[in-house]
Structures are given as structure tokens and as C-alpha cells.
Amino acid sequence: MSTAYQPAASHYVNGTYIDDLDGREIPVIYPATGQEIAKVYGATASIIEQAIQSAQIAQKQWAFLSGSERGRIMVRAAHIMRERNRSLSELETHDTGKPMSETLIADALSGADALEYFGGLAGTLTGEHIPLAGGDFVYTRREALGVCVGIGAWNYPIQIASWKAAPALACGNAMIFKPSEMTPLSALKLAEILVEAGAPAGLFNVVQGHGDVGAALVTDPRIDKVSLTGSVPTGQKVYAAAAQGLKHATMELGGKSPIVIFDDANLENAVSAAINGNFYSTGQICSNGTRVFVQDEIKDAFIARLTERMKRAIIGDPMGETTTIGPMVSERQRAIVLGYIEKGIQEGATLVAGGKSIDGAGFYIEPTVFADVTDDMTIAREEIFGPVMSVLSFATEEEAIRRANDTEFGLAAGVFTQDLTRAHRVAAAFEAGTCYINAYNLTPVEAPFGGVKMSGVGRENSKAAIDHYSQLKSVYVCLGDTEAAF
Ligand SMILES: NC(=O)c1ccc[n+]([C@@H]2O[C@H](COP(=O)([O-])OP(=O)(O)OC[C@H]3O[C@@H](n4cnc5c(N)ncnc54)[C@H](O)[C@@H]3O)[C@@H](O)[C@H]2O)c1
């Protein structure tokens, strides 16, 4: 394979690219053309062994540094990522099909934000002093967990790798990251950059593979923590495997999130949020607000304005910087989404925009809006993970909250209203990990991100992530004599 996107080898382990051609072949397909642009091989037992052993050695060295020393290297890596944002974005666009208008602002830069933020926090991580009777005291040490495994989904490859690596490394851990088999390329660049910035070889290893490679890592007794971004069924398997070894776990899973729009909302802002929350990344975002509840009085006006705004979408070549809708990640994912659209029509929803696959090379599909959706329809219950918005209507606040929460998921939720009191009341009532008032799908590194109910366990980003990548040791210090019964 000789394209510009072919990596030197499949895996980045112990500071260098390595391969074992006995591994399962993984073709990398550019979703805009269907062409193969690279090929990697899934990790064999020997590659996994090298990754774990080198990570164990690097972790000891890394944890021995002061937090500020670790942080300095992480911030340096963030600067390199920012400098290389354009080439990293081009790579991400080829791996995922997401348009450059997005990857230039939301992928490597978001990864750099995480490295900078957690690099800054690294020197502030301390324990506490707990005074006791007689001068005795306890102090706590905030210690690393050891070697962590990160497993990624395909929608935000370098962002997911960085969001997991940054808090892990800040706390003194090593990480072995397995990207999704759909998008194996950009995490390798993060690994290169960390070594270039001064991280010890082996501290952040990338191994490729399907679920079996992920499972082999998760079940290895030398692994101390697992952080997965993926679907609920995979999360259930990985969480169970982690529990078997009593490992720490963070699960960032799927959603079917609501956006509730009251009749006093700023309509233009609400339409913008519904567009962002359904069609950004061609709808392939876990926290998307795919159930849009609109109050009866403004339902017609909302649909009319939304349909007008949909005409402005620029569907096309993701490398064109004005393109706003690229292809789906794969033929398979497009087929899944088309299946849901078919179900929506069969179950009686009204198709108001899109609905069809787009002929030609690449896995394109029209951004799609259904109106008159009811709570029991498949498109309102299951995560579609594609550009399909369901608009539902409601009469009262109580009804909207009840129906918004009537789902097994709980990743995100949004409310649009000018009534301050109602906004906070509704946000408090939402059963979701990340809520928005008059905004949607913003994920600053400073704020915790994660789900409740079936959408996940643990939090990424923010100071909260530190608790998920470190553990406290209590040290009791006795200043007097030690007494015994005999
Ligand atoms: N909450 C979040 O932060 C977030 C972000 C992005 C995507 N997601 C979710 O991810 C899903 C889409 O991504 P996907 O299709 O890649 O998910 P997926 O569950 O199919 O795969 C996720 C990852 O898990 C690996 N895997 C599969 N089986 C495994 C096993 N038994 N043991 C260990 N690893 C295994 C896969 O190889 C892949 O790397 C959607 O449900 C979406 O909502 C969640």
C-alpha cells in the first residue's frame, strides 16, 4: 500500500512501529470513495505481550517523575498536535469521512485541549493530611493505577485516544490503546507525538485489532483499568470482563438523547441545536439529541424553519472545506441507518426531509427528518448512529420530562426555553449525565462528560476524570507507643 496514509507498520509499541503479518488483515477504507487507502494487521499474542511488557516498564519510570515533569511533556505534546492540526485533520477525514470543516476544529484540537488541561493538573495531584488523637495522623497518597487499556469507537478516533490518554498519563499510568478496527490510523500519530515530546517509549502503545484483541487486553491480569468508548452491547461485555478481574472501568456508551423545545424558546437557536445535535459528523455522535420534543404551539413553525435550513446543507467531498455533510463511516453503517429509515416509514412517521441513500462512490446518505414520531416507534427507541432526527410533540412540561426520561439510555439532554426557572427545573429532572440549557453537544474539557443508566459508568474530562485514573493509599503514622493486649 503506497498512499500517503499508509503507516510504517500496524502497531506503535515501545516507541517504534512494529508488525506481525500473522495478524488479521484490516483494510482502511476512505468512506468518500470506497477506496482502500491503507492496510494494517490485528495484533497477535506476541504484539500484545510486547505492548504490555513495555508499558509496565515505562509506567514505573513515568510514575517516578513529579507531576509537573509529566505535565510539561504532555503540554509539549499538545503544542505539537496543534502545529500539525492540518495534517492530522486530513488523516482523520480520510479515516472517518468526516468533513475537514469539522476535523480542523473538533478532533486533534480537542485532543490537544485534553493533553494541555490534564498536563496542567498533573502537578496539582496530591493527597491529604488527616490529624488524629495523640498526634497520630494519616496521610493519603494519590497513586497511579498501573497499566490502563483504552478501547475506541470509530467516530472520534484521535479525540477518544487523547481523552483517555491525557488523564491516565497525568496520574502516572501507562496506556495501551486499541483503536476501532474501522479507524486505526490517527491514534498512531498521537503515540508518535508523545514520544517526540519526551514520554518514555512504551508509555502509550497502540495496538490494532477487532474485538478479540480488545478482549485479550481486558482479561490480562496485568491490566489495571479499562476505559471503553463504544456501544451498549460491547460495554456490557467489557464491563463484565473487567469485573471478573476486579479492574477499574470507565464505560462511555450509546444514547438516545432528548432535546426539549418549549414554545417560548428562541426558535432559530433551537433549530440550530437540533441540526448540530443530529447532523454533525453525519449523525455519528453518541450524545446526539435524536428525539426532538417540540411543544404543540410551535411544532409547525419549527418543522418549517428546520426544513428551510436543511436545504443549506452542503453534502459532498469531505476534503472540500465548505462541505458540511460527509459520508457515513462504512457501507455497513449506511445500510443500518437505511434500515431504520425504512422502519420509520413503515411504522407511520412522516418523512419531511431526506430519507435516501445517495448514488455514486462513497457511503453517502441524505440527512433525514421524521415528524409525527411517537414514543413507541423503533426510531424513537433505538440508537441509530446516523443522520436521522425524530421530531415528537408535547403539551406540558410534566409530559415532556416523563417522555424524555422514558429510555434505557441517559447520556445527554437539552432544554430550550427563555424561562430561567423552568430551564433549571427541567435540567434537574433530566436523567442524563450531561445536560444543556439553550445549547447542545458542547463538550469542553473542563466539564465532566459521561452517561447514567445504560449510557455508561464513570466520567471523562474535567477534574472528575482524575478519580477514575488514580487510587488513594492511606498511610497511618503513629507517634506514640504501640500497645497490645498481652
Ligand atoms: N459515550 C461516548 O463517549 C461515546 C462516544 C463515541 C461513540 N460512542 C458509542 O459507540 C458506538 C459506536 O461505535 P462502535 O460501533 O465502534 O462501537 P462498538 O461497540 O462496536 O466497538 C467499540 C470498540 O470496542 C471493541 N470491541 C468490540 N468487542 C469487544 C470485546 N468483546 N472486548 C473488547 N473490545 C471490544 C471494538 O473493536 C471497538 O474498538 C455507539 O453506540 C456510540 O454511541 C459513545
Measure the CA angle with vertex 81, ends 77 and 84; round to 5°. Answer: 140
β-strands 204-206, 258-261: how paired? Answer: unpaired
Over the chain, what is the mean pLDDT?
A: 98
Q: Which three cell numbers stand for residue 47?
A: 504484539
DSSP 446: T
**420 CA → ligand 1 middle, Å:** 37
Q: What is the DSSP string of 335-372?
A: HHHHHHHHHHHHTTPEEEE--SB--SSS--B--EEEES
Is it the case that residue 208 has pLDDT exceeding 80? yes
- The whole-number pLDDT of residue 149 equals 99
The stretch 257-283 carries a mean pLDDT of: 98
Residues of the chain with CATH 3.40.309.10: 258-437
Torsion of CA 129, 130, 135, 141, to 10 degrees: -50
Q: Tell me the mean pLDDT in the region 203-231.
A: 98
Is residue 397 among the annotated active site residues?
A: no
3-state percent helix, strand, coil for the chain, nearest multiple of 5: 40, 20, 40
CA distance 438 to 270: 7
Mutate to test the pocket of ligand 1, among 231, 232, 385, 434 (most ligand atoms within 8 A of CB): 231
Which of 3.40.605.10, 2.40.110.10, 2.60.120.10, 3.50.50.60 would CATH assign to domain 11-253? 3.40.605.10
Catalytic option among 252, 366, 397, 460: 252
Looking at the predicted structure, is the pLDDT value of residue 205 above 80? yes
Residues of the chain with CATH 3.40.605.10: 11-253
Q: Please list the residues that pair with 416 across neighbouring strands.
A: 261
Band of pLDDT at residue 1, cut at 50, 70 and 90: low
CA neighbor of 266 nearest in space, from 423, 33, 92? 423
Neighbours of 92 (CB within 10 A): 28
pLDDT over 60 at 94, yes or no: yes
How far apart are the CA of 75 and the centre of ligand 1, in A?
28
- Residue 253 in this model has a pLDDT that exceeds 60: yes
Distance 229 CA to ligand 1 centre (A): 5
User: Given pLDDT bands bounded at 50, 70 and 90, which one contains residue 2?
Assistant: low
Task: Tell me, using a 6 A CB cutoff, whether residue 151 lines ligand 1.
Answer: yes
pLDDT more than 70, % of the chain: 100
- CA distance linking residue 21 with residue 46, whole number of Å: 11
Is this complex's ipTM strictly greater than 0.90?
A: yes
Q: Of all atoms in ligand 1, which is nearest to the CA of residue 180?
A: 39
- For residues 228 and 239, what is the distance between their CA atoms, to the nearest angstrom? 9
The 3-state secondary structure of 118-171 reads HHHHHCCCCCCEEECHHHCEEEEEEEECCEEEEECCCCCHHHHHHHHHHHHHHC
Q: Average pLDDT for residues 283-309, to the nearest whole number?
A: 98
Residue with CA closest to ligand 1 atom 18? 230
Write out pLDDT tens, residues 315-329.
Answer: 999 999 899 999 999
| 258-437 placed in CATH 3.40.309.10 | yes
Q: Which residues contact 71 (CB under 8 A, 6 or more apart)?
A: 118, 119, 120, 121, 122, 123, 170
In contact, 122 and 71? CB cutoff 8 Å? yes
- Please provide the distance, in angstroms rounded to a whole number, between the alpha carbons at the two ends of the chain: 77
The residue-averaged pLDDT of 154-163 equals 98
Whether 92 and 186 have beta carbons less than 8 Å apart is answered as: yes
